[in-house]
């Protein structure tokens, strides 16, 4: 199948919003693969250390665009021919590569999981060794890189107008789910013709919660294969890894997000296995992991990790 590349330029990125009216920067067929290249960082967030390389396309974006209303520089959107409202876009994440040799992490007073504990702005720049796959902290620790895109989204419904890139929702968006690395598959509802997929907010590494507000923000190159599930059964984002089925939900109240994610997990288990809702609820308690995705994007995220071995076992028995 054909392969395409989309590089970040002032023409191929949108900064801070998701919007059904954005023109597509690329049109593809189902089954095509696309490598989406991203950049990260506003002018005050880039490194002035001459040891690090700041890409000229990032500076060009700074000169021609301003963030509104969110902070994320997103590459796209990509139009998938044949995608219609009611479908599900199947996004197979084939590969994710570190693109830059530096990243950054930010603390902002009044934000993050501890909004009142830290009263001064902080920005930390970190060196990234792309060959070794490691991240050097200023305090001497070395972290393993585990890159993923914090934002992967289809366009929201036309009637919703432009939405901030900060808040995740039914279209995916700023999910910040660290499980969505290479080898996973993301499913996103289609709300407009062509789906209009965008990606950005590259993370070299992040812990569950993303508690201080940001991860190791950096540029990435991600290769995706796009397919469609017509007349989809589910209308909320979910994902698969080689080992797990992942239910996700978002709400300003963490308790509400947890309950919505758990209900989604139960529906998914019942859909795939010949067991009752009560049995699926028990199974979640016995074998699934309920995890906090992030607590900093206004709508907090929770995801439920369901072992695929159990689902496959029941499917074989059926």
Domains of the chain from N-terminus onward = 3-229 (2.60.120.580), 243-317 (3.10.28.20)
Contact criterion met (CB below 8 Å) for 261 and 289? no
* Mean of the per-residue pLDDT values of the chain: 96
Tokens of 17: 């919003």
pLDDT in tens, 230-282: 999 899 999 999 999 999 999 999 999 999 999 999 999 999 998 999 999 99
Q: What is the DSSP letter of 236?
A: S
Does the predicted model carry a pTM greater than 0.85? yes
d(CA 297, CA 166): 6
Q: How far is CA 211 from CA 11, 106, 207, 246, 259, in A?
A: 33, 11, 8, 21, 21
List, for residues 278-310, the tens digit of each pLDDT value: 999 999 999 999 999 999 999 999 999 999 999
Task: Kindly report, residue by residue over 162-202, the tens digit of the pLDDT.
Answer: 999 999 999 999 999 999 999 999 999 999 999 999 999 99
Peptide bond into 160 cis (omega under 30): no
């Amino acid at each position: 199948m054909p392969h395409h590349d989309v590089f970040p330029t002032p023409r191929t990125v949108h900064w801070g919003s998701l919007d059904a009216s954005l023109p597509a920067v690329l049109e593809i067929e189902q089954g095509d693969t696309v490598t989406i290249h991203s950049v990260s960082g506003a002018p005050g967030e880039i490194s002035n250390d001459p040891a690090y390389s700041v890409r000229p396309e990032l500076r060009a974006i700074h000169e021609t665009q301003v963030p509104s209303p969110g902070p994320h520089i997103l590459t796209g959107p990509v139009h998938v021919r044949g995608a219609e409202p009611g479908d599900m876009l199947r996004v197979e994440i084939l590969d994710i590569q570190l693109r830059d040799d530096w990243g950054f992490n930010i603390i902002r007073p009044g934000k993050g999981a501890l909004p009142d504990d830290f009263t001064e702005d902080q920005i930390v720049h970190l060196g990234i060794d792309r060959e070794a796959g490691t991240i050097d902290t200023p305090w001497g620790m070395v972290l393993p890189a585990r890159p993923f895109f914090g934002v992967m989204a289809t366009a929201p419904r036309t009637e919703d107008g432009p939405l901030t890139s900060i808040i995740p929702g039914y279209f995916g968006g700023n999910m910040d789910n660290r499980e969505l690395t290479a080898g996973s598959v993301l499913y996103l509802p289609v709300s407009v013709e062509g789906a209009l997929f965008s990606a950005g907010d590259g993370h070299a590494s992040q812990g569950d919660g993303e508690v201080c507000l940001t991860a190791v923000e950096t540029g990435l190159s991600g290769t995706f294969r796009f397919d469609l599930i017509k007349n989809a059964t589910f209308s909320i984002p979910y994902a698969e890894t080689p080992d797990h089925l992942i239910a996700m939900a978002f709400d300003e109240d963490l308790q509400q997000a947890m309950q919505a994610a758990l209900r989604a997990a139960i529906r998914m288990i019942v859909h795939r296995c010949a067991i009752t809702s009560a049995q699926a609820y028990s199974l979640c308690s016995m074998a699934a992991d309920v995890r906090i995705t992030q607590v900093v994007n206004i709508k907090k995220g929770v995801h439920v990790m369901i072992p695929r071995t159990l689902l496959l076992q029941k499917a074989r028995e059926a």
